[in-house]
Amino acid sequence: MSTLRHITDLFDRLGSYPWWEVLFELALIWFVVYVVVRFVQGTRAAGALKGILFIILVVVLMLMILGGGEAFGRLEYIVNRVLAVVAVGLIVIFQPELRRAAIRIGEAPFFRSTPSDISRVIESIADASAYLCKNRFGAIIVLERQVKLEHMVEGGTRIDAEISGALLKTIFFPGSALHDLAVLVRGRVVHAANVQLPLADPSDMPDPGLGARHRAAVGLTKECDAIVVVVSEETGLIRVVQRGRLSPPLNAEQLRTELTARLHRIPPVEGKTEADDEEERATMQAEPADEPQRSAGESADDEQETDDD
């Protein structure tokens, strides 16, 4: 009877509030939960966060319904103290995700470059990528944005030369002293080459067959707002990586379109989310991206993503 009385009291209290106030609070709670779930979706934190929130929700509701601050006073006291510790623990556990959230909030357009600068960068990268793709020369090109990556340049080689397709082709030509690691582009300048990037955990990769270049691209973009262009040495496929997500294989023209959309931050069509636009572009690009590989006389099996470089 006590439990039933607590439930009845709970509904009575809800009925005493203005309906618009209850509706607003429910909408606000739903929005916050949706944003959090959408942010961690696809990461290792997703399962842990859902489990923790479910346990907390069940415990709190049980205490509210059964205890009401009377029957289980001591247990409620312990739970309240534990929740405070859990709140601090969540900050520690989800520190990488919170860091990425702060970075996304502060994201700005591509280093505040002018449209002509961005077009020059895109043309240079597309030109070099087409050449590298055709000859199957591996490459990884990092486009620095709002988050500075100066700490990664310490072990690399500073160049500080204006970007061009010829320069990128020369850097990534096999046998070059700088071709193995990444190139860092800052604005319209190739700031450094032979830059070592952090590798993503194998469990974060969508395909275990993807090699070190793709792991480095995913690992870096999970920690900052950079955009990375990867050319596979094994398959010759071109991909764009942002926020830890790999695009489908692209040809040179599709790479121009993709970089233009990302660097200019073209807003999605009204009624669509950014994720919807990415999914739509992936669907449209999946088949055409394979055509350049077939025209080069390669079999369908060679187009599979088995990059071991």
Fold held by 110-303: YojJ-like (1 (3.40.1700)
Cα distance between residue 212 and residue 227, in whole Å? 17
Instruction: Check pLDDT > 60 for residue 284.
Output: no
Query: Is 303's pLDDT higher than 50?
Result: no
* Residue given tokens 């900052």 in the structure block: 224
* Measured CA distances, 218 to 43, 76, 97, 103 (Å): 12, 44, 14, 16
| Tokens coding 174 | 């096999």
The span from the CA of 146 to the CA of 140, in Å, is 19
Joined together, the tokens standing for residue 152 give 């990664």
Residue 102 has a pLDDT of: 66
Tell me which of 288 and 179 has the higher pLDDT. Answer: 179
pTM of the full predicted structure?
0.57
> pLDDT for 39-90, tens place per residue?
666 555 666 777 777 787 787 777 666 655 555 667 767 777 777 787 787 7
Q: Residues of the chain with pLDDT > 90: what percent?
A: 18
Provide the pLDDT for residue 39: 67
Q: Which residues pair with 198 in a beta bridge?
A: none
Please compute the mean of the pLDDT values over residues 123-146 and round it to a whole number: 91
* Helices (H), ranges, 106-187: 115-135, 165-171
Q: What spatial distance separates the first Cα and last Cα of the chain, rounded to whole Å?
A: 68
Are the C-beta atoms of residues 261 and 184 closer than 8 Å to each other? Answer: no
Higher pLDDT: 232 or 295? It is: 232
Q: Give the pLDDT score at 171.
A: 93
pLDDT above 70: residue 91: yes
d(CA 186, CA 110): 9
Instruction: Give the pLDDT of residue 285.
Output: 44
Total Cβ atoms within 10 A of residue 75: 14
Q: Reduce the DSSP state of residue 66 to 3 states and report it.
A: helix
Q: Which residues pair with 123 in a beta bridge?
A: none
List of residues 6+ apart from 48 with CB closer than 8 A:
93
**DSSP summary character for residue 187:** T
Burial of 165 (0-12, 13-18, 19+ CB in 10 A): middle
Q: What are phi and psi of 142, to 5 degrees?
A: -105, 125
Measure the CA–CA gap between 241 and 214, rounded to whole angstroms.
Answer: 8
- Residue 276 clears pLDDT 50, i.e. is over it: no
Domain definitions of the chain by residue range: 2-105, 110-303
Residue 274 pLDDT class (50, 70, 90 cuts): very low
**pLDDT confidence bin for 294, thresholds 50/70/90:** very low
